[in-house]
Amino acid sequence: MTKIAILITNELLSLGVATTIKSTDSEANIVRVSSWEKLQAHLMLSSVDVLFIDGATCNAGDAADFKKIRSKYLNLKMILLAETGDNPLTLLFLKIGIEGVFPKSISENDFRHAYSTVLLGKKFLDPSVAEFLLTGLADHPRISKLTFRESQLANLLIKGLRTADIAKKLDIAVSTVSTTKLNIYKKMGVDNIVDLAAKISLHQNRNEPETAHPVN
């Protein structure tokens, strides 16, 4: 049985997420909370496998609480529901470490796929977030060490393409894609796509004026 906590203040959105999860995982045990304080109180009493967070209700202070939770509950999978990919808080949560970023406009079928991906221990990054992060791809100090083919493949990875689709698009063998992906991860010092995207976002923020994306 999967234990899930939903930190969403919008009642309709919270109910929608819970209902969709139930339609995918009927045995899921779901608890809905409305604040970080209530979430932390719940975590002290019961274990949680997956946490959904509403990005629209978060601020920099919440990110600090999230970081504490992240370090204390290492096996907790965290999913952020985001309005847009270019929200600086989305990037902040990526750097701290989350398993998925789902857009609020996600379809029911895509939600099920993304949720199942996270449950399987993989990470899911919405294409809209990937597209924003790719704006800093060419200038990244580590990515500058990639070959042309590795840069091509890194671009497609962050966009969310699967290994077989990348092989078809670049007209190369699936095994070549797998080997090249490992080389990219090694050069970038990461072991998954979300962390690769986070590295790019970190570089991006360092090169933007502090007033470019104010956090309210």
Mind listing the pLDDT tens digit for each residue in 169-189? 888 999 999 999 999 888 888
* Every domain of the chain and the residues it spans: 3-126, 132-206
Q: For the chain, give the longest Cα–Cα distance.
A: 52
Q: Which two tokens stand for residue 15?
A: 């109910």
Q: What is the pLDDT along the chain (216 residues), one digit of tens a residue?
A: 899 999 988 888 999 999 999 988 888 999 999 888 888 889 888 889 999 998 877 766 677 777 788 888 888 999 988 876 556 667 777 777 788 888 888 888 989 989 998 998 888 887 767 666 655 544 445 555 777 788 788 878 877 788 898 999 888 999 999 999 999 888 888 888 877 777 665 554 544 433 333 333
Q: How many residues can be counted in the chain?
A: 216
| Domain made up of 3-126: CATH architecture | 3-Layer(aba) Sandwich (3.40)
Judge contact between 82 and 124, C-beta under 8 A. Answer: no
DSSP line for the chain: --EEEEE-S-HHHHHHHHHHHHHH-TT-EEEEESSHHHHHHHHHHS--SEEEEEGGG--HHHHHHHHHHHHH-TT-EEEEEES-TT-HHHHHHHHH--SEEEETT--HHHHHHHHHHHHTT--EE-HHHHHHHGGGTTT-TTGGGS-HHHHHHHHHHHTT--HHHHHHHHT--HHHHHHHHHHHHHHHT-SSHHHHHHHHHHHHHHTS-TTSS---
Judge contact between 51 and 74, C-beta under 8 A. Answer: no
Mind listing the pLDDT tens digit for each residue in 13-30? 999 999 999 988 888 999
Residue 85: predicted pLDDT: 56
Q: Is the pTM of this model over 0.75?
A: no
Q: List residues bridging with 50 in a β-sheet.
A: 4, 77
Residue 214: predicted pLDDT: 34
Who's near 160: CB < 8 A, 6+ residues apart?
A: 125, 126, 127, 130, 193
Residue 207: predicted pLDDT: 46
Residue 36: predicted pLDDT: 82
CATH of domain 132-206: 1.10.10.10
Residue 208: predicted pLDDT: 44
Residue 210: predicted pLDDT: 36
